[in-house]
Amino acid sequence: MDYNLLIAVGIGVFALLFMILKLRMQAFIALLIVCIIVGIGAGLSPDVIFESIKNGMGNTLGFVATVVGLGALFGGLLENSGGARGLATYILKLFGDKNASWALMVTGFIVAIPVFFDVAFIILIPLVYAIAKKTGKSLLLYAIPLLAGLAITHSFIPPTPGPIAVADILGANLGWVIVFGFIVGIPAAIIGGPLFASYISKRIEVVPPEMNLVVDEEVTSPNPFTIIGIIVLPILLIVIKTLLLGDWFDHESLPKQVIYIVSLLGHPFSALLIANLLAWYVLGVRRGVGKDVLLKLSMESFKPAGAIILLTGAGGAFKQILVDTKVGELLASTLQDAAIHPLLFAFIIASLIRVLQGSATTAMIASAGIMSPVIASGDFSPAQIALTVIAVASGSTILSHVNDSGFWLVGQYLGLTEKQTFRSWTVMTTLIALTGLFTAMICWYLF
């Protein structure tokens, strides 16, 4: 067997980490350079290399750019309407002070579907301060569950950008990814959230900082049931299409009109468009927000999506280089010879990249590029491909430390020392990752 291709990929991954870690190069540029390095190492001509990059970028962005853009716009409307904080306040009242940690986990789980992780955390952290002051208990008892809910949805459940990108690169059915994201995410949220928070809060006493924060915005916030409905609607439409039109269901017996409507409304494009139109009217026009304000808000919402879209495109280019060099067949053969389970391999690759360079999104996209030709050359069911997405997401969550911006964001807002952040946030991300892998492995054999 010719291992020159595997060596070329190994050199490419090493170069990627060197450029990001040592040279502090933007991951988008680093991934494109790695595409060229791997192409040269595999013996491709310059024309073929750049054609692969172009095709990989184009094929990936055709889907991802649309979904991430629509998701960013949706999240911006929810954030600026006060809906996220209003929903959190309602859930906290529903659960009561005694179950506040569970309420915050649920809040994080729901809010992070349309809103970016760091934005959602900053919006909701005043609620955590208020509850900790009211109860006199450690801030970690309430912050950790919120962070667990946010982190899991951010990595596991579309339409957040990370799983959307990985699902597209691996060719996974988005409906199955959503289903398994919930199946795997719920136990991970419970273990990494309230259960771990109950343990660590007894060992690290953290007092909330003295800040003048207004946390009760019920008067101006939209109805929480409206917010939940708008958030759940696109997910429900996508899952209904997956279940009704999947291979296991005899959808040929359904009327053609039903199949047409389900196919139309259950596509991520139309599902998110419907959610955006509802949000535009319910959270904007109906509440008296001017058209010019809504337009400005829309433009602002797109800004954080730009970097993610370009990075995902570069990941698609990396994937295409690996496909065109036939390295996937070698990787699949090597996995088979070494008796490494595909989920474990995906998890290890994502974990290594995550620990070495810090960014969960970069780890997800780079490892998805490596796994894509393996999936393409193997005989995997739609459910197994979706579980591979979850394994990549789990690995990209593990061991957040000093090279991850999230590590410093959490430490700063919670007033933690570096050692305390390691003992709380880093351990939490690791529990989520390991629980995610373990649950995905169980699902692999059940589905």
Q: What is the mean pLDDT of residues 12-27?
A: 83
pLDDT at 216 over 60: no
Per residue in 68-90, pLDDT tens? Answer: 888 888 878 877 777 777 888 88
CA distance 233 to 226: 10
Is the pLDDT at 214 greater than 50, yes or no?
no
Q: Specify the DSSP element, H or E, that contains 300.
A: helix 291-324
The CA distance from 140 to 128, in Å, is 9
Would you state the pLDDT for residue 340?
83
Q: For residue 307, what pLDDT is reported? A: 76
The percent of residues in the chain predicted with pLDDT above 70, rounded, is 92
pLDDT at 189 over 90: yes
Mean pLDDT of 311-325: 82
Res. 279 pLDDT band, cuts 50 70 90: confident
Backbone angles phi, psi at 137, to 5 degrees: -95, 170
| Confidence (pLDDT) at 144 | 97
pLDDT band of 184, cuts 50, 70, 90: very high
* pLDDT value at 285 more than 70: yes
pLDDT bucket at 232, cuts 50 / 70 / 90:
confident
In sequence order, what DSSP letters do the residues of 155-213 get, joined into one string? HHSTTSHHHHHHHHHHT--HHHHHHHHHHHHHHHHHIIIIIHHHHHTTT---PPP----
- pLDDT band at residue 254 under the 50/70/90 scheme: confident
pLDDT > 50? residue 218: no
Task: Mean pLDDT check: name the lowest of 60-64, 151-155, 304-308.
Answer: 304-308
Query: Which residue, among 145, 81, 146, 159, has the nearest Cα to 118 in the 3D structure?
Result: 146
Residue 118 CB neighbour total at 10 angstroms? 16
For residue 56, what pLDDT is reported?
A: 86
> Which range, of 174-178, 237-241, 247-251, 279-283, averages the lowest pLDDT?
247-251
| Residue 164 in this model has a pLDDT that exceeds 50 | yes
More confident residue, 362 or 109: 109
Write down the H helix ranges in 325-400: 327-338, 342-357, 360-377, 382-397
99: enclosing H helix or E strand: none
Report residue 441's pLDDT band, with 50, 70 and 90 as the boundaries.
very high
Q: In the prediction, which pLDDT does 202 show?
A: 92
Residue 439 clears pLDDT 90, i.e. is over it? yes
Report pTM: 0.81
User: Does the pLDDT at position 169 exceed 70?
Assistant: yes
Q: Write down the mean pLDDT value for the chain.
A: 85
pLDDT band, residue 124 (cuts 50/70/90): confident
In this prediction, residue 213 has a pLDDT band, given cuts at 50, 70 and 90, of very low
Q: Do 111 and 84 contact (CB within 8 A), yes or no?
A: yes
Cα separation values, 108 from 17, 77, 102, 149, 272, Å: 31, 17, 10, 4, 20
**What's the number of domains the chain is made of?**
1
Residue 436 vs residue 323, higher pLDDT: 436
Whether 356 has a pLDDT exceeding 90, the answer reads no
250: pLDDT confidence band, cut at 50, 70 and 90? low
Of 20-24, 51-55, 337-341, the least confident: 337-341
**pLDDT value at residue 84:** 75
Average pLDDT in the 106-117 region?
87
Tell me the pLDDT tens digit for each residue of 44-71: 899 999 999 999 888 878 888 888 888 8
Angstrom distance (rounded) from CA 160 to CA 183: 17
Which residues constitute the domain of residue 362? 4-446
CA 153 to chain centre: 6
